[in-house]
Structure 1
């Protein structure tokens, strides 16, 4: 739900939170949470919050309800009486299903003064109810894994009957649960699900496996279906006056027009085979990227300039954004308008927006300082749990809504309301009429639909009332299908997808509408074509496509409905494509390259069909570009070994002549190079000359040279290895091209390739060396050669990342695994828990001094840009990080140095082992019966024929490697973080630091009075008397208790040490002087401070180490020589960082070598900063301003 952080609470903790909130108020002032650029400050009362809000002139904001009447509100809806139904959640981020503490409340304004005065709890025991709708005799609730139907059978406004309508929604990501239950114009109940919430609905004999999707449920039959798929984390559905669906979404673009059967761009995860994804309808952005809720506003309560637009809640922006729609063929394009409401209060979190019975916009406000789910996951019990607001934005003296009950109104009264200037009443009256399905109302509604004097909106609502009741007769449908109004025709076609009609006249009329003048009508015909038996699917789709040149949506929808038909209907498709008008249709011909790929992927592939397609394009003048694209797809499938053996021989016999003609036409023909890359697969003599020449020609573009090399290696050209060797011996090559050449070399099985790469490995650029290593790890024989170089000391051990070693151990043969064990010892699988220590060390580094962000761009390009895009630069293998993963410094540090701590399923590495022993690892892009496609590091797509796949394995760790701190010098890390911590490119004057970033003066750190020092509870011991109870104090002397503001033991200097100039002799690390704190049970620590008073303590010639005992083993937190870091202060960790369960803490001091004695150890406590170990909340401020 955007990055919405729900809150967990119980009755007991509600009481305690009142006091903890007061206690933490002072420290709250300085903490900047994720995705916020300023200090939140304390929460405001509803009245004070309203006083800070900005709305256009003439508007005002009113509080409709607030805590304690509503707490933790998630979703809302109005019913036919104007009552407000609100879901509350205390359970988020609970992953487990089952009964919970969440509830549904009904809010009423009985005296019509604009404020709620009656609250009824309708239902309890829910578990994150993330969507709600009222209708058809009950209340529909999204309560994953279920969609529930709750009924009040005795009229006491209490749910006493529960029915599970659909089950199988995931809880893998509880801020992307099924949400936004909304009645559609067609009478279906629509809802959304997020990209990382993996769901598997089994319903009435059908399996629906999906993530991000718009689904719908028939309230009468309870049938479930997916309307469309794609986007990211969508939360909010709105329908425009034509009944088209729009959703708001997070992370990637924020506004989408969703059409039935469409598949839209995903934030992450694989696409189904042959998908041609659709994009959003915006090219602008509002503040940040967390959207929640959307409403198409159409009410006369506001002036005209504020109507007929989309209002969207922006969580991070603390505002309501506005977009206005413009038609663009069969789809739309949106443009921004000024924000409608700005809270000027970072606690404001608008999660839902609805038009009320008074015609005003209502805004539901979660109201919390924490916007992002990361805080909820880290500390689910430590966030605010007592607030929630519902506001109304009112224009001047808009009248209050009077009491009403649409259920008590007659059909005539409800039909009259369909002309209301307030869409609230049109929608509610339409729904009630549909639910009633009164036969007496049918002729009256039909009359309104056909009334030319009525407003278009009124006519459509009347039509939708009939459609929702499933009362559109065949006779009336025929009238609509022939009507002059395109929207009436459009909806008449759309209705046919919900009913079973076999009337020949309807079928004939719809076939004629395939070339309707309206793109909306043609679009619906394309959607309907595969749904009904009376429409010949392939001819109908081609007819629609032929009449839709230049449309941005229709070709995608045609393809989504056409490509499944090509599994069996390829002969019909090819026969039609050879006839007029399709053989001359630019729109129809544009799909031929995609059709080629689909035909090649059929289970019973007919090479004749492929040949027919190529010959069809070859015979058409002006289609050279389409022919080239088609040949490129076929060539790619020969190179991936999807076409081998008899099928390849058959392809040669069918295409050799056509390809020869294309090659004979010369390199001015767009298909020349692709024809050669294809023909070389069967050693065509002409191609055997062309392709090597292309690869060796420095005048050819990189794309063409790399494609030629791919063809050479796949075909096993006898000179391929020599040509590659010669390539690397030439100088002045473009490094980006070199990287692509390296990534292509894995197709060869020659050990010469491994030798060639190993000989040049250290000379390769920093961007290309990792690519070469990845290629060497693809084949066991090559891996053996690489490991031998490491074994012999010719290459450093850390040239391989822990991720690579884990992959090799789990997938390689026994010899390689044994070789790894002899070099590296035992390789543990899974995330390395010691990454927490690395994060702490890197935090110290990047906050100690400022790097150069301009140099940081260079570091980013060679390291991060291989997989991530930032500010439009880099590859899209992993998440786009312009708006992801950089909410604050803690989040960024964790994502960079501990990448497997939190990982979405769609970003887990997938490793494929081929039958020839090749090992490839990347993100899964496609997994189909014919092939597997991986996106490798650097963005290269690698296709593996299904017949070549021996095994597939999904890793529990991120594709992003651990240990990048070993690949970079400290200066490079500083430069990289100087770049990554900016909100915009460094050249942009508006660039600011993300929260928590920047240098920290250790002298400004002070322990807050709320912090509990775990050392107070520990048993303290030392191994020499001078540090236990010597002249310089006792072992507990430096321990400071922030809660009391005093040291644990009152002494003169609060210090421990040995006498000045005392000589303890040469001490090895095993003989070190130690100071140890031990607890009876492990304690969680994320922040540790040690004071030495002076920069030279420990002494300049003294070595030291700070260690923690974890699960019975001592692990080093930090070690060094001379004084503590940070001018005499040692600081490890940070408030809100991942905590470490520690059994004991130990400080060691020893000699730096075998000659230097340990002298004069001297540690002194500082008031407000001393020897401290604690587990501090993210909001705890430890920096004195």
Structure 2
């Protein structure tokens, strides 16, 4: 199937490029289950919402005071600062029409009656925060600092803090500017919004970091006084919303992938798409459950006594496609968390509802900012920009019973003592704002008061935590006496924050080093996590390694700490790998390195070093194979890692010779000990890979043995491939021939591994068994045979002999043949497939409409479709657990409506992010590979190819490396499979569950037809596209142009009528007919029960059909007609279909189909 690209609000999926006429066609926008219907008034919208008993929803503000709201914050006076965007989804930077508004409830009636414009001229302002004397606005490419210097309520001073955020995806812009507990300003950026952030000219940081920061999906932060920019953590998808719990931990909501993530400093998390930095050990989410659909926007940790206890201290998230607020509750899991679902807090029951921000207000209630638009996904916005609603927006309050409203206060005018008292508030709004103001003031008198509060065990824990954070945000350093007491605090959270906050906040930095030493035995995983992070900032080289390994020894089973330790050890290993191995030995940390899962990464990192010195490899191998202290499991992992690097030719030349000499004694010792030894097999694999044939008989035996585990047989296969074993193809013949004793999975692995061979005979073996291969393996065989010129020529010869169908090759594989540059292959391609485009085919739009009609009119067999999926789509996609995950799992993504599915399948390259573009590599050894980039480093490129195979290509063996403008998923699926297979496939794809599930239902829009009629010429093409793609008309007579649900037993029929007695209704379309192929005009037409009409078909003005459509010329009410267009092959033609009057009695024309078909 296709390589999907997903993004904002979980909807960055591919779709049809549409004309203005198509704007009316988005009847069921993406992620809607049905047409959204008309917009509701704010009062009507509130009435439809459901909330738990005792709660009610109130409108605080609505249009015209709020339109297209994107971001919001609530300041220390309870005022709402809201970013509006009517420019969305504009990609170009520069001045715009967007604004920052300030809304205020002056009289405390719950309505924001005062509205003012603080700033305008913005261009999709996507994040906002108030503090430190100004307003911070994310306005890509910039983060701006706006100030009102004269007190008139309008920004008159504008400065750029940093610049360089991308605008390639305007639904993934920098967003969610939020004050962290440490006093820094945090924000997010999305996976498909590549950014290269730099400091502006004149910034003191520009000299220290002139190259800036290159990243995509990340949690970044900015220091409010120094304006220093940092990447705090990286990964996820299109995150939108940051929340902090009462421990000061960061949580974000994300789209498409899992929805909830705990992010910690220096962590690198799972990405929706795109390559990881080399040697990344990624972290996962903190959920195993899913809520409705997969588009989240906004998150808050709600903690207020305005609600009953069961609603407090939970995460509330806006679910745009679900039309609700989801709730999760957090549980600790070592240094990280695990979240479980709770019932939804609000359900809008209105498809226009788009909750983009959730905040706790001064009254303790939850406030929800609602974009309010029928188009949730940016594809619809791009396709129909005029259809975006730019006139609406709402701000709601969710109130419990008669919770008092709050107005007329200003925390900025309160004294330090009053603000410190606010830290005891049960409402997190007051705690956070009082904390920020105390930090901003940084008064000398408040510091000792805050210190005493932190150390006062009788005070509430929440007040003490916020007091601590207020101290950390001050411009004053922490006092040494206080720091010592905080490090020794009885509560581990305070100890952890003392370690974290001590960095950069102590007058004497040596105190922090002493604290790191003094907390080495602290049992708290939170403390040890912060020790690991802080040690990585304070220490370098061997000292850092020692500290991190000490922590790892105690917390090897933690889900977070080993990953953080690795992220901060890995950069040292290029130069200091030997030192690290010494530290492992000195600390006896080998068991922890192995049990934590770090060993494979360590092995790969050591093997990837530029330095050809093999000392570190030998040292680690000796450590793991030592009879007294070694570890067989770890040794096998390392031996396998070395063998893979050799097999992939990542270790070659002088380095390979050095390695072979260095490890030879160990290999000989193990092999001499006998085949029964625990390391014999893995050592033999390495030996063979190094062209040491001492163990080759045993390895050949394993490959041929049907009793051996398949994992061992695959390892044996790879080693023999690397060694160029002459007898290998005989074993392969046996695996292909003996189908009973060799599994399809093993044959799949064989096909995936043979590409590294160069013998022409490989093609002969594979082609001789092609017809007997399982259907899902035949595409793998073609994938293999298109990787080398000699094999490709044999494949095309087989196609020429009709031994293999030409449609066995997908379009990207045909393009790969051309990428070889071989003239003979190019000639054969031209002869078989004609001219091949290297860009998206714009004619796919018409095909989508044709396929929509075909699939709707021909119900398929979902069980048969499941087999088609396994053979074709499953090579790159998973659905209900079947298939390979080259592209995203499409169980929950890409199939949200029938129209969306059609677009994704038949026009995969319409909108495609860099992470999902096909990349072609031509090696110096003559191999051609196409796949998605998993890693792109100085040492190597790793591609994930069709079938899920990871192909590693050393950088030195790459002759051509080209990123395509098209999707990894090829176009023209309709040419690969038969029409019956197509309808079967879609019968499977449109189900929301496997066909074996009795509760399986179809996606919205599959069979339903929404009857409609129009006399507006701008809407004619929309209706005709349902049955006659590419046709439109300029005039129609009685009844207008109508789309009927049914006529004479056929679904989806368009009704026309002559304009008058003399003038026909003419359907007109222009088409390009392919050269060398037979083309037909296929028509299905009907008549009124009491009438007939004259059908005339003209091509380039030439009449080719003239027929009466009536009772005598139809069967069961319908006539199936064809017009031969072969004489126009290779030409552009204009086709006219006339609904001409006959006797002027019910001259209605009924059209079930009008399509140009090329065979």
Give the TM-score normalised by structure 1.
Answer: 0.85
Select which of 970, 977, 981 maps to 1:972: 981
In the alignment, is residue 136 of structure 1 matched against residue 132 of structure 2?
yes
Q: 1:1146 aligns with which of 1123, 1131, 1135?
A: 1135
Residue 227 of structure 1 is matched in structure 2 by: 232
Residues 1:209 and 2:214 aligned together: yes
**1:1157 corresponds to which residue?**
none
Distance change in 2, residues 1:758/1:811 (3 Å):
same
Deviation of residue 265 (structure 1)? 0.7
Segment of structure 1 superposing worse, 827-836 or 1162-1171 = 1162-1171
Change (3 A) 1:1104 1:626: farther
Equivalent in 555, 570, 576 of residue 562 of structure 2: 555
2:158 aligned with 1:156, yes or no?
A: no
Measured in 2, the distance between the counterparts of 1:727 and 1:624 equals 30
Contact 1:850 1:998 in 2 (8 A): no
- RMSD between aligned residues: 3.7
Residue 310 of structure 1: aligned partner? 315
Q: Does 1:340 align with 2:350?
A: no
Q: Is 1:406 aligned to residue 411 of structure 2?
A: yes
The structural deviation recorded for 1:828 is 2.5
Residues 188 and 76 of structure 1: CA distance in aligned 2, closer, same or farther (over 3 Å):
same
Question: SS of the counterpart of 1:599?
Answer: helix
Q: Is this contact kept in 2: 1:66–1:389, CA < 8 A?
A: yes
Taking a change above 3 Å as real, the CA distance of residues 800 and 80 of structure 1, as seen in their structure-2 partners, is same
Which has the larger displacement, 779-788 or 880-889? 779-788
**Structure 2 residue 955 is the aligned partner of structure 1 residue 959:** no
Q: Distance in 2 between matches of 1:572 and 1:1040?
A: 85
* Range with greater deviation from structure 2 (647-656 or 946-955): 647-656
Q: Write the mapping of 1:691-702 to structure 2, written as runs, cut at 5 A.
A: 691-702=699-710
SS of the residue aligned with 2:352?
coil
Give the Cα–Cα distance (whole angstroms) in 2 for the partners of residues 650 and 108 of structure 1: 73
Look up the SS of the partner of 1:368 in the other structure.
Answer: coil
Indicate how the Cα distance of structure 1 residues 462 and 343 shifts in structure 2: closer, same or farther if over 3 A, else same.
same
In the alignment, the residues of structure 1 paired with residue 696 and residue 931 of structure 2 have an alpha-carbon distance, to the nearest angstrom, of 32
Unaligned runs of 5+ in 2: 1-6, 13-19, 200-205, 1025-1032, 1044-1054, 1072-1080, 1105-1111, 1123-1130
Which secondary structure state, in structure 2, belongs to the residue aligned with residue 133 of structure 1? strand
Deviation at 1:792, TM superposition (A): 5.4
* 2:533 pairs with 1:527: yes
In 1, are the aligned partners of 2:578 and 2:615 still within 8 Å (CA)?
no
Look up the SS of the partner of 1:439 in the other structure.
coil
Asked whether 1:189 is paired with 2:178, we answer no
Matched residue SS, 1:381: helix
Tell me which moved more, 124-133 or 729-738: 729-738
Q: Tell me the secondary structure at the aligned position of residue 432 of structure 1.
A: helix
Contact kept? 1:1013, 1:1040, Cα under 8 Å: no
Alignment-derived partner of residue 161 in structure 2: 165
Q: How far apart, CA to CA, are the structure 2 residues paired with 1:297 and 1:1131?
A: 66
1:250 corresponds in structure 2 to 255
2:607 aligned with 1:611, yes or no? no
Matched position secondary structure for 1:479: helix
Residues of 2 paired with 1:397 and 1:742: CA distance? 69
Deviations 1:629-650 (A, max 9, x none): 1111111101100112332233
Q: Tell me, yes or no, if structure 1 residue 913 matches structure 2 residue 906.
A: no
Q: 1:1103 to 1:1091 in 2, by over 3 A?
A: closer
Equivalent residue, structure 1, for 2:1085 = 1092
**Residues 145 and 168 of structure 1 are in contact (CA less than 8 Å); yes or no, is this contact kept in structure 2?**
yes
Whether the aligned pair in 2 keeps the contact of 1:1055 and 1:1163 (CA below 8 Å) is: no
Residue matched to 2:75: 79
Go from structure 1 to structure 2 and tell me whether the alpha carbon gap of 1:312 and 1:1165 turns closer, same or farther (over 3 Å shift). Answer: farther
Distance 1:1124 1:431 in 2: 80
Q: CA deviation at 1:618?
A: 1.3
1:1083 is matched with none
- SS of residue paired to 1:717: coil
Shift of 1:673: 3.1
Question: What is the Cα deviation at residue 1041 of structure 1?
Answer: 3.9
Q: Residues 313-370 of structure 1, C-alpha deviation per residue, up to 9 Å, x if partnerless?
A: 1111111111000000000000111111111222211111000000100011111222
Cα pair 1:1006 1:1169 within 8 Å, conserved? no
Q: Distance in 2 between matches of 1:1144 and 1:401?
A: 70
- 1:629 corresponds in structure 2 to 637
Q: Which residue of 2 aligns with 1:434?
A: 439
Q: Which runs of 5+ in 1 are unaligned?
A: 7-16, 1019-1033, 1057-1073, 1080-1087, 1115-1121, 1133-1141, 1150-1159, 1175-1185
Cα drift, residue 483 of structure 1:
2.6
Work out which of the residue numbers 708, 713, 720 in structure 1 matches 2:721.
Answer: 713
Q: Could you tell me whether the CA contact under 8 Å between 1:1093 and 1:1165 is conserved in 2?
A: no
Distance 2:148 2:179 in 1: 20
Aligned to 1:282: 287
The Cα offsets for residues 1148-1177 of structure 1, whole Å up to 9 and x where unpaired, read as: 89xxxxxxxxxx999998659669999xxx
Shift of 1:665: 6.4
- Return 477-486 or 357-366, whichever deviates more: 477-486
Specify the SS of the correspondent of 1:704.
Answer: helix
CA distance in 1, matches of 2:1100, 2:853: 18
Would the aligned equivalents of 2:185 and 2:222 in 1 still touch at CA under 8 Å?
A: yes
- In structure 2, the residue matched to 1:508 is 514
Contact 1:710–1:747 (8 Å) recurs in 2? no
Higher RCO (C-alpha under 8 Å, 6+ residues apart): 2
The corresponding residue for 2:1028 is: none
Distance 1:370 1:503 in 2: 53
Give the match for residue 1060 of structure 1.
Answer: none
Is 2:1056 the partner of 1:1050? no
CA distance in 1, matches of 2:70, 2:768: 60
CA drift at 1:731:
3.5
Change in CA separation of 1:78 and 1:872 when aligned onto 2, cut-off 3 Å = same
1:871-906 Cα shifts (integer Å, max 9, x gaps): 232211112212221121111111111111121210
Counting only pairs closer than 5 Å after superposition, residues 379-778 of structure 1 correspond to structure 2 as 379-473=384-478, 475=480, 476-499=482-505, 503-533=509-539, 536-585=543-592, 590-619=597-626, 621=629, 623-663=631-671, 671-732=679-740, 733-778=742-787
Classify the secondary structure of the residue corresponding to 1:337.
Answer: strand
The 1-side partners of 2:11 and 2:622 are apart by: 58
1:1025-1104 equivalences under 5 Å are: 1041-1042=1040-1041, 1047=1057, 1049-1051=1059-1061, 1092-1094=1085-1087
Aligned in 2, Cα 1:500/1:797: closer, same or farther, shift over 3 Å?
farther
Give 1:39-188 correspondences, 5 Å limit.
39-188=35-184
- Structure-2 change in CA distance of 1:839 and 1:165 (3 Å): same
1:875 corresponds to? 884
In 1: Cα distance, 2:564 partner to 2:1121 partner: 58
> Does structure 2 retain, via aligned residues, the 8 Å contact 1:930–1:946?
yes
Residues 442-477 of structure 1 show CA distances to partners (whole Å, capped at 9, x for unaligned) of: 111111111111112111111111111142335132
Q: Structure 1's 725 and 131: CA in aligned 2 closer, same or farther, altered over 3 A?
A: same
Tell me if structure 2 keeps the 8 A contact 1:69–1:119. Answer: yes
Q: How many residues align?
A: 1080
Judged with a 3 Å threshold, the aligned counterparts in structure 2 of structure 1 residues 201 and 1009 are, in CA distance, closer, same or farther, namely same
Partner of 1:1155: none
Does 1:839 pair with 2:848? yes
Q: Is the 8 A contact 2:789 2:820 kept in 1?
A: no
Distance 1:793 1:1172 in 2: 33
Distance 1:546 1:149, change over 3 A: same
CA distance in 2, matches of 1:1037, 1:396: 58
Counterparts of 2:698 and 2:343 in 1: how far apart (Å)?
Answer: 58
- Partner SS, residue 941 of structure 2: strand
Instruction: Give how far 1:238 is off.
Output: 0.1
Pick from 316, 320, 336: which aligns with 1:331? 336
Equivalent position of 2:380 in the other structure: 375
- TM-score, normalisation: structure 2: 0.87
Provide Cα deviations, 1:173-228, integer angstroms capped at 9, x if missing partner. 11111111100001111111111111111332243111111111111111111111
Q: For residue 783 of structure 1, report the CA deviation from its aligned partner.
A: 2.0
* Alpha carbons 2:476, 2:505 under 8 Å: kept: no
Structure 2 CA distance, aligned partners of 1:883 and 1:1166? 48
Report if aligned partners of 2:816, 2:929 keep a CA contact under 8 Å in 1. no
